[in-house]
């Protein structure tokens, strides 16, 4: 008889595989979740997936275990004072631990009644987190929001939507605040990432998304990557960039203060000092004009205001730029010639452009390059801000912004207002025409007579805002704070009520990725514990608010998220042709104006949304805080491959084991002067705060520049950053502030026992 090899008897076979979209970055990779007994044990991706062709990064392939983390909150929580009907304690503390768990059977408080075994009263604090039920929690939220709204009106109410949540969740949350509280104090973290790019693009072309798709990188002959550490922050787009260089002969120009991974494959690396984008890119424009590399046909037919711009350009010689930025003038010339002489050239940029007190000007300097050369409006060209979050594009599209309804319809335009009033069953003139406050302004207005009640869905301002010591004070001044999340993060720890929502793996909906591709998100299994999908929480709460305020209903009875998307698409023309059926297998790239429209991968082929592209005169404005004798280094912040933003997901995941501590990167020349060796503990101090962490001595950073990732609450980079804002976009200056670095002791480290041992660049 033939001998047969037996199949591994312990082999785990999936009960089902669920196709969904990655919850991390804006690339929007397709994930197949392999599920057994309601537990995801493996993630794969189909090799014909249009976005990522089977490739994933460490977060997408392995970073889903936060779903099952023991610290995840799956039962509603309220502070004890609320459950006992007592006055709120004077001090709003940051507290993470849950005092009483239902599972322990010790105590449960519902409707103010203690049902069993009270703990000795001297151990109780009014500020304890106590588990409760949905009915109680939602009634507390509804009562308090109603009370504050009736007392102080619309201007006291504000909400942070969430670039991690689905389009449907975000649409509903902004609808709740606009339709019920009649306020436009609605914003989300887009303000902190690409607001500068959005404002510049709106002013120059009238639309703020990527003009081309990321998969068109391989069609570029030349492309510029600037202010984006693409390999770590959009890993799959970085693979396409590498492929473009290695297999399709494209030439890459990297302009970044750090010698990022992509610099290895670049034709040119322009190591500019943080905050000097305007002189460098304007000098490139200067070269293009002076050497007459201008695409006059494009400039004459598609743009306006050239003369005023040229006048302002006069001073931006490459030598002037070299003096300010440190980039050799000759390299600026080479870069300008490469870009201008290419058949198809594109620019990809990240937050190194936008996160500055002159972020709008920075982005504008880039846009001018595309205008001068006509490298926009064709396949393989374009102006491409790489959006950070999985659904930051979508949340912005959904109107989670203080100046726009869904579809970028200005809130101060009565015609736009009328359309949404009709959609939401609101009396004519009922919605507010007043522009709302932005993310940063919402918190800085948290005081008597300003914002009193804040609702945070998924965001974490206590990690993501600049100058956190100041943010902390603002959080403490709120009268009522609701957190809707999956973990008690640094911000939720200040909240009065915690509503446990579901992560991507437990809900249905859609995400819109960085290149405007609207893709499905599907639940792999039911919510853990008593958690509920965000859209259901919002609808339930909205109905309670409407009944307390005696309002006609704005429609909250949805049986499935698809109905929410259809409602939104009935007014927002970009999404009008998108149905779940059409995106069942593959996403559609909006604008999709009709049900038979195939989507629009390349924008601006014939004209710009504002008509002609508009040049804007620019001047060089330095970063608000420049290094001096006391604080001689420029601190720039950013992200790591293994972590995500404030860390709610990745720090509660095995990802944390791969990179458990914050490190400050310092150049060997600087390290030597200060007597710092690789791995030494150091204290980094700015005028606003200080952190202690280990140093990585590396040429990945440049002389005079230190880099700290902002994921780690133990050494939060944003304790140091400057809360100076761009006057137009209101984006804070995360990318440049002045710091000093001192040697420190092992004992000063928050977690001396952890040390990253990684060989990756």
* Closest to other proteins by CB, 398 or 716: 716
Q: State the Cα–Cα distance between residues 30 and 20, nearest whole angstrom.
A: 6
* Closest to other proteins by CB, 54 or 153: 54
Of these, 17, 18, 50, 69, which contacts other proteins (CB under 8 A)? 69
Decide: helix, strand or coil at residue 137.
helix
Residues numbered 586-645 forming contacts with other proteins, rule: CB under 8 A: 641-642
Q: List own/partner pairs for 142-145 with CB under 8 A and 24 or more apart.
A: 142/541, 142/544, 142/545, 142/548, 143/548, 144/453, 144/480, 144/496, 145/181, 145/453, 145/455, 145/480, 145/482, 145/545
Other residues' Cβ atoms within 10 Å of the Cβ of residue 312: 14
Of these, 248, 560, 745, 760, which contacts other proteins (CB under 8 A)? 760
Instruction: Give the range of 76-84, 137-145, 650-658, 694-702 binding other proteins by CB under 8 A.
Output: 650-658
Decide: helix, strand or coil at residue 757.
coil
Does 239 participate in binding other proteins (rule CB under 8 A)?
Answer: yes
- In the shown chain, the binding pattern of residues 94 to 123 toward other proteins, with x for contact by CB under 8 A and - for none, equals -xxx--------------------------
Closest-CA residue to 743 (of 680, 690, 664, 686): 680
**Contact present, 71 and 49 (Cβ < 8 Å):** no
Report the nearest approach of other proteins to the CB of residue 737 (Å).
26
Instruction: Give the range of 91-99, 170-178, 383-391, 731-739 binding other proteins by CB under 8 A.
Output: 91-99
What are the DSSP calls for 684-741, one per residue? EE-SS-EEEEEEEE-TTS-TTEEEEES--GGG-GGGTSEEEE-TTT--EETT-EEEEE
Instruction: Give the range of 55-63, 362-370, 473-481, 690-698 binding other proteins by CB under 8 A.
Output: 55-63
Report the nearest approach of other proteins to the CB of residue 240 (Å).
10
Closest-CA residue to 158 (of 555, 445, 410, 487): 445
The tally of CA atoms less than 13 A away on the side-chain side of residue 225 is 33
**Contact present, 645 and 192 (Cβ < 8 Å):** no
* Closest to other proteins by CB, 68 or 320: 68
Q: State the Cα–Cα distance between residues 417 and 423, nearest whole angstrom.
A: 10
- In the shown chain, the binding pattern of residues 6 to 45 toward other proteins, with x for contact by CB under 8 A and - for none, equals xxx-xxx---------------------x-xx-x-xxxxx
Report the nearest approach of other proteins to the CB of residue 190 (Å).
27
Instruction: Give the range of 54-62, 359-367, 558-566, 608-616 binding other proteins by CB under 8 A.
Output: 54-62
Report the nearest approach of other proteins to the CB of residue 637 (Å).
21
Of these, 30, 75, 362, 656, which contacts other proteins (CB under 8 A)? 656
Residues numbered 514-543 forming contacts with other proteins, rule: CB under 8 A: none
Report the nearest approach of other proteins to the CB of residue 79 (Å).
16
* Closest to other proteins by CB, 340 or 649: 649
What residues pair up with 640 in beta bridges, in sequence order?
none
Of these, 22, 31, 57, 82, which contacts other proteins (CB under 8 A)? 57
Report the nearest approach of other proteins to the CB of residue 724 (Å).
30
Instruction: Give the range of 64-72, 372-380, 405-413, 578-586 binding other proteins by CB under 8 A.
Output: 64-72
Pairing of β 30-36 and β 16-21? antiparallel
The tokens for 163 are 């670039």
**Binding-site residue total for other proteins (CB under 8 A)?**
64
- The edge-to-edge listing of strands for the beta sheet with 157-160 is 98-100, 129-131, 77-79, 497-500, 480-485, 453-457, 157-160, 186-187
Place of tokens 């002609």: 612
Q: State the Cα–Cα distance between residues 81 and 652, nearest whole angstrom.
A: 29
* Closest to other proteins by CB, 6 or 449: 6
Of these, 27, 29, 56, 398, which contacts other proteins (CB under 8 A)? 56
**Contact present, 187 and 438 (Cβ < 8 Å):** yes
* Closest to other proteins by CB, 34 or 286: 34
Does 658 participate in binding other proteins (rule CB under 8 A)?
Answer: yes
Residues numbered 718-757 forming contacts with other proteins, rule: CB under 8 A: 750-751, 754, 757
Q: State the Cα–Cα distance between residues 294 and 288, nearest whole angstrom.
A: 6
Residues numbered 240-299 forming contacts with other proteins, rule: CB under 8 A: 242, 246-247, 265
Alpha-carbon distances of 23 from 107, 345, 350, 560, 750, rounded to whole Å: 36, 30, 19, 20, 30
Report the nearest approach of other proteins to the CB of residue 353 (Å).
25
Instruction: Give the range of 53-61, 170-178, 537-545, 694-702 binding other proteins by CB under 8 A.
Output: 53-61
Of these, 660, 704, 743, 752, which contacts other proteins (CB under 8 A)? 660
Backbone angles phi, psi at 194, to 5 degrees: -120, 20
Report the nearest approach of other proteins to the CB of residue 502 (Å).
16
The tokens for 327 are 């980039």
**Contact present, 602 and 212 (Cβ < 8 Å):** yes
Does 559 participate in binding other proteins (rule CB under 8 A)?
Answer: no
Report the nearest approach of other proteins to the CB of residue 754 (Å).
7
* Closest to other proteins by CB, 52 or 514: 52
Backbone angles phi, psi at 734, to 5 degrees: -75, -20
* Closest to other proteins by CB, 295 or 476: 476
* Closest to other proteins by CB, 41 or 296: 41
Instruction: Give the range of 495-503, 611-619, 652-660, 692-700 binding other proteins by CB under 8 A.
Output: 652-660
Give alpha helix (H) positions in 479-577: 534-549, 561-569
Does 235 participate in binding other proteins (rule CB under 8 A)?
Answer: yes
Beta strand residue intervals within 12-161, DSSP E: 16-21, 30-36, 39-44, 77-79, 98-100, 109-110, 113-114, 129-131, 157-160
Q: State the Cα–Cα distance between residues 76 and 83, nearest whole angstrom.
A: 12
Report the nearest approach of other proteins to the CB of residue 726 (Å).
33
Of these, 166, 652, 685, 702, which contacts other proteins (CB under 8 A)? 652
The tokens for 731 are 């984006």
Closest-CA residue to 487 (of 477, 508, 476, 501): 501
Does 134 participate in binding other proteins (rule CB under 8 A)?
Answer: no
Of these, 4, 550, 628, 629, which contacts other proteins (CB under 8 A)? 4
* Closest to other proteins by CB, 473 or 758: 758
Backbone angles phi, psi at 489, to 5 degrees: -90, -175
* Closest to other proteins by CB, 538 or 655: 655
Contacting positions for other proteins (CB under 8 A) = 2-8, 10-12, 34, 36-37, 39, 41-45, 47, 53-58, 61-62, 65-66, 68-71, 95-97, 235, 239, 242, 246-247, 265, 641-642, 651-658, 660, 713-714, 750-751, 754, 757-761
């Amino acid at each position: 008889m033939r001998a047969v090899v037996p199949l591994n008897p312990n082999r785990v076979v999936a009960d089902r595989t669920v196709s969904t979209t990655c919850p991390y970055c804006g690339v929007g990779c397709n994930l197949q979740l392999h599920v057994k007994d309601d537990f995801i044990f493996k993630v794969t991706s189909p090799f014909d997936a249009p976005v990522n062709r089977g490739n994933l990064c460490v977060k997408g392939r392995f970073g889903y275990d936060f779903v099952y983390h023991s610290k995840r909150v799956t039962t509603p929580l309220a502070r004890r004072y609320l459950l006992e009907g007592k006055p709120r304690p004077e001090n709003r503390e940051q507290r993470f631990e849950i005092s009483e768990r239902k599972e322990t059977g010790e105590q449960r408080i519902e409707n103010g009644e203690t049902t069993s075994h009270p703990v000795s009263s001297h151990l109780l604090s009014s500020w304890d987190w106590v588990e409760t039920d949905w009915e109680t929690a939602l009634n507390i939220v509804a009562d308090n929001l109603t009370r504050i709204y009736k007392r102080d009106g619309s201007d006291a109410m504000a909400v942070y939507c969430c670039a991690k949540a689905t389009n449907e969740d975000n649409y509903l949350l902004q609808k709740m605040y606009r339709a019920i509280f009649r306020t436009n104090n609605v914003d989300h973290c887009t303000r902190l990432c690409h607001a500068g790019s959005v404002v510049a693009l709106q002013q120059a072309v009238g639309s703020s998304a990527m003009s081309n798709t990321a998969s068109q990188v391989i069609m570029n002959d030349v492309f510029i990557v600037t202010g984006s550490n693409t390999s770590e922050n959009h890993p799959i787009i970085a693979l396409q960039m590498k492929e473009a260089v290695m297999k399709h002969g494209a030439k890459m120009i990297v302009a970044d203060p750090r010698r990022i991974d992509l610099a290895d494959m670049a034709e040119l690396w322009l190591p500019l000092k943080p905050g000097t984008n305007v002189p460098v890119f304007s000098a490139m424009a200067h070269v293009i004009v002076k050497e007459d590399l201008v695409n006059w046909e494009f400039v004459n037919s598609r743009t306006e205001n050239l003369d005023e711009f040229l006048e302002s350009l006069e001073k931006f010689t490459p030598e002037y730029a070299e003096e300010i930025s440190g980039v050799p003038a000759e390299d600026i010339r080479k870069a300008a010639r490469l870009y201008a002489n290419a058949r198809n050239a594109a620019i990809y940029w990240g937050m190194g452009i936008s996160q500055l007190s002159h972020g709008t000007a920075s982005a504008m300097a880039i846009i001018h390059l595309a205008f001068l050369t006509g490298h926009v409006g064709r396949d393989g060209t374009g102006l491409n801000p790489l959006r950070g979050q999985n659904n930051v594009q979508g949340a912005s599209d959904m109107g989670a912004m203080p100046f726009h309804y869904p579809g970028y319809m200005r809130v101060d335009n009565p015609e736009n207002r009328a359309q949404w009033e009709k959609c939401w069953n609101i009396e004519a003139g009922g919605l507010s025409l007043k522009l709302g406050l932005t993310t940063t302004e919402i918190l800085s207005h948290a005081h008597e007579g300003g914002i009193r009640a804040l609702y945070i869905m998924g965001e974490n301002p206590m990690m993501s805002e600049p100058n956190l010591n100041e943010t902390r004070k603002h959080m403490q001044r709120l009268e009522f704070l609701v957190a809707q999340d999956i973990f008690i993060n640094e911000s939720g720890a200040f909240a009065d009520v915690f509503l446990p929502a579901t992560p991507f793996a437990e809900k249905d909906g859609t995400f819109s990725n960085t290149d405007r591709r609207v893709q499905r998100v599907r639940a792999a299994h039911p919510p853990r514990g008593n958690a509920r999908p965000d859209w259901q929480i919002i609808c339930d709460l909205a109905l309670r608010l409407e009944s307390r305020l005696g309002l006609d209903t704005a429609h909250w009875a949805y049986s499935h998220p698809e109905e929410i998307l259809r409602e939104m698409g009935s007014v927002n023309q970009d999404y009008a042709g998108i149905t779940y059926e059409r995106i069942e297998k593959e996403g559609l790239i909006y604008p999709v104006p009709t049900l038979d429209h195939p989507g629009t991968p390349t924008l601006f082929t014939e004209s710009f949304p504002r008509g002609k592209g508009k040049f804007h005169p620019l001047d060089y404005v330095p970063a608000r805080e420049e290094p001096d004798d006391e604080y001689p280094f420029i601190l720039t912040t950013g992200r790591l491959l293994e972590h995500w933003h404030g860390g709610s997901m990745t720090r509660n995941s095995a990802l944390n084991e791969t990179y458990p501590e914050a490190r400050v990167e310092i150049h060997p020349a600087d390290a030597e002067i200060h007597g710092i060796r690789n791995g030494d503990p150091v204290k980094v101090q700015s005028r606003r705060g200080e952190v202690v962490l280990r140093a990585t001595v590396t040429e990945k950073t440049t002389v005079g520049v230190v880099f700290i990732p902002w994921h780690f609450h133990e050494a939060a980079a944003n304790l140091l950053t400057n809360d100076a804002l761009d006057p137009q976009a209101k984006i804070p200056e995360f990318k440049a502030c002045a710091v000093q670095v001192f040697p420190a002791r092992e004992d000063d480290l928050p977690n001396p026992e952890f040390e990253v041992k990684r060989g990756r660049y």
